[in-house]
Amino acid sequence: MDDRFNTIAGWALFSGVVALGLSSLSSHYFQADKPHRPHTMGFEIEGVVSSEGGAKEVPIETLLASADPAKGAAVFKKCTSCHTDNQGGANGIGPNLYGVVGEAIASPHRSFAFSDALKGVGGNWDFTKLNDWLHNPKKFAPGTKMTFAGLSNAEDRANLIVYLNTQGSNVPLPAAPAADAAAAPSGEASAAASGAPAAGASEAAAAASGEPAKK
Ligand code: HEC
């Protein structure tokens, strides 16, 4: 009787140990208890342009051609905590910006203590450089003291640059590349030209320019 009990208890104990061992072994082996992520997240699909990337592909020249300085004046409100743009306006946290379009980057005539980062860039504020700068100041001039995150919307930047150009610069706008004007459906293009929201046209252009991306 005793013997039988011990045998049964022994087997019960033994199978418990085996079960425990197996479960810990399998969880270890399959890492079922640890959520693990694949080494590369997702995968690239060729020929697909994200809206971010697509917006970037519309050349700034195209956006400038349909930009609206009145809308740019509204965008400039994001800058007025640090900048004035009137003739003879005072420097604030940032320099006065009157006539900045086409002018030398970090020009000494502004009597502003520019960072070495911006002084080191060299050249003039042409439309492309202003566009890159306002998109991401820290990327354009790493170490700049302009603590402004940047404007992610390309149309906002185009409107703003065209507005800034009216503040003492009046540099002729660059010609829009012909290929893109042709790529936009005529209805959309004329809407953009007449100053209507250019979103449709630029999206169409982005889609059109995105298509040949497949290799
Ligand atoms: C938080 C304050 C701040 C804001 C907001 C800001 N800026 Fe600036 N900006 C600066 C400072 C500071 C500098 C000088 C940067 C340096 O020396 O590195 C500067 C420099 C510039 C320059 C270069 C001027 C030159 O003569 O080379 C331009 C152009 C400019 N800002 C445009 C803008 C525009 C347009 C906006 C709004 C979209 C804006 N900034 C928003 C602080 C600011």
Sign of the Cα pseudo-torsion (168, 134, 65, 197, in order) = negative
Fold of 51-176+183-193: Cytochrome Bc1 Complex; Chain D, domain 2 (1.10.760)
pLDDT averages per 10-residue partition of the chain, 215 residues: 78 82 70 61 56 63 97 98 98 98 98 98 98 98 98 98 98 82 50 48 50 47
- From 100, 146, 153, give the residue whose CB has the most ligand 1 atoms within 8 Å, as the site to mutate: 146
Boundaries of every domain in the chain: 51-176+183-193
- Report CA-CA distances (Å) from 213 to 42, 46, 49, 62, 109: 20, 7, 8, 20, 45
Predicted confidence at residue 4, as pLDDT, reads: 83
Top mutation candidate among 71, 78, 83, 115 for ligand 1, by most atoms within 8 Å of CB = 83
Task: Identify the residue whose C-alpha is closest to ligand 1 atom 41.
Answer: 79
pTM (two decimals) = 0.66
Burial grade of 172 (CB within 10 A; 0-12, 13-18, 19 or more) = exposed
pLDDT of residue 113: 98
CA of 6 to the centre of ligand 1 (A): 85
**Rounded to the nearest whole angstrom, what is the distance from the C-alpha of residue 88 to the centroid of ligand 1?**
17
